[in-house]
Amino acid sequence: MLQHIIDRFIKYVSIDTQSDPNNPAFPSTEKQWTLAKLLEKELKFIGLTDVNLDENCYLTATLPSNISYKVPTIGFVAHIDTSPDFSAAHVNPQVHKNYDGKAIVLNADDPIILDPKEFKELINYKGQTLITTDGNSLLGADDKAGITEIVTAMEFLLTHPEIKHGILKICFTPDEEVGKGAHKFDVKSFNADWAYTMDGSELGELEFENFNAASGLVEIKGKIVHPGYAKGIMINAMTIATQFITALPANEVPEQTDDYQGFYHLYGMKGSVEKASLQYIIRDHDRQKFEARKLHFSATADALNKKLGNNLIATTIKDQYFNMREKVEPVMHIVDIAKEAMIQAGIKPNIKAIRGGTDGAQLSYMGLPCPNIFAGGHNFHGRYEYVPAESIQKATEVIINIAQITAKKFEH
């Protein structure tokens, strides 16, 4: 199965599906259709039913039950798109069989090196098959590893009817990386009792908590005049922008926080003397702290406006998603089933909070409880991304085990 998984994964990641946060269209990039249409044909070929690629690039399919009694319908979800943060063009995966535990030269020209001295978890995969980038793009294991796992698990169950399972539903979504992956997801039509996103990172991750998330836009108005005659007249919007940046807590940023600590993340800025803008994301696991962060963000602008004696700064805050824990805790048996599935596959479950979000967060609030399971990759969204092929294989086993365990638990 391992070589089959490697071949399938490489086929998927070789297709550029990068999404675009600045395009309101759905999906945000036409190239996501390329992989969606390939997957549509593949799902029909392996024998799934009700295969449907809708007008918004959501691909759904069903694996019918092979038992005579009714059990809960389980969904498995992954996303087609890759991050807009780093190039996804000309992905050229490199396969390193029987990894020796030493540094891997991704690109000798720059040089770009994947070194266990920096990325310490690499040593855990000594002897395994690593799939890396060539240093010029991201890899796309987020979330094409998840797609590979779901397709491979469905294919395996179809060819092994002795493994008993109820109805299984799958959905591949567009635009998860730009926060829109669940926006047009038809939960009612999907008709699952619960689901799992295969969108986590390293082997064993199981997550039912995530950040509360919002975007924050800061727009600053300046006034431009000739610099030789600017005294008392010019207002430099870029200078004011730096004042806003430094007014936020300097240690509450991604590079200085971990675990349950929230942050303000400045990820985009542009400007001139006359106009400047700052793009932030605001994150916290605790809902009260999250609301306080949003208030502090706006209050920072208000305080600067008061200091400047003019309303030059405007902020816009938009909620993106909330912590799924509130929706999953009442149905914790779905987390317990995933834990049992991992243990059966010889994996130690690593239950942790996501320092990010998945489609599952939004789906949970839409009525489809949806914890997140590891997809196996590391260092997402950049040139150092890699995935052990064996982790993809293990995640595939977890999906199969979930189906089997659920059928047995609800047997009557």
* Active-site residue list: 81, 176
Q: Is the link from the previous residue into 174 a cis peptide, with omega within 30 of 0?
A: no
Strand partners, 112: 107
Helix (H, G, I), strand (E, B) or coil at 215: strand
> Nearest CA to 334 among 224, 237, 195?
195
Element spanning 205, H or E: strand 205-209
d(CA 230, CA 401): 71
- How many C-beta neighbours within 10 Å does residue 128 have? 16
Length of the chain measured in residues: 412
The pairing of beta strand 212-221 with beta strand 313-321:
antiparallel
d(CA 144, CA 150): 10
Give the burial string for 92-126 (b: 16+ CB within 10 Å, else e): ebbebeebeeeebebeeeeebbbebeebeebeebe
Residue partners of 200: CB distance under 8 A and separation at least 6? 206, 207, 354, 372, 373, 374, 375
> Nearest CA to 254 among 284, 278, 276, 277?
284
Dihedral sign of CA atoms 8, 14, 15, 21 in order: positive
d(CA 384, CA 404): 36
Token readout for 7 is: 């071949």
CA distances from 80 to 33, 244, 343, 365, 376 (A): 9, 36, 28, 21, 16
SS (H, E, C) 294-344: HHHHHHHHHHHHHHHCCCCEEEEEEEEECCCHHHHHHHCHHHHHHHHHHHH
d(CA 265, CA 164): 46
d(CA 190, CA 288): 33
Any idea what DSSP says for residue 34? H
